[in-house]
Amino acid sequence: MPQLEVRIVTPRAILLQTEAEGVQAPGEIGEFGVLPGHIPFVTTLKPGVVVVHGAGGVAGVTRRFNVGVGFVEAGPDRVTVLVETCEEVLGSATAAH
């Protein structure tokens, strides 16, 4: 299965850099999902939760991040989330059974 290259970047550090199957994010004009092969687009984010599916290239592993204001740049094979504040939701990494 094709993978997305996901990065979550804040002014203080690169918080996440990994392969993933898909990303869900709280866009300013609506929650949206990105899968590999998505058309290139840029959108702004409102504070909410970014969900990374299949993080680290492992199917079923989901990681969640609380994010502040920022934006997303998505391409066919990569997603860059730029936010001013971001924190991983504790205990959010869930493996499939």
Residues that bind another protein (CB under 8 A): 9-14, 27-29, 39-44, 69-71, 73, 75, 80, 82, 84-85
Residue closer to another protein by CB (options 61, 72) is: 72
Structure-token pair, residue 50:
């970014």
Shortest distance, CB of residue 96 to another protein, whole angstroms? 31
Residue closer to another protein by CB (options 28, 60) is: 28
Shortest distance, CB of residue 42 to another protein, whole angstroms? 5
Residue closer to another protein by CB (options 10, 62) is: 10
Shortest distance, CB of residue 44 to another protein, whole angstroms? 4
- Using H for helix, E for strand and C for coil, what is the string for the chain? CCCEEEEEECCCCEEEEEEECEEEEEECCEEEEECCCCCCEEEEECCEEEEEECHHHCCCCEEEEEECCEEEEECCCEEEEEECCEEECCCCCECCC
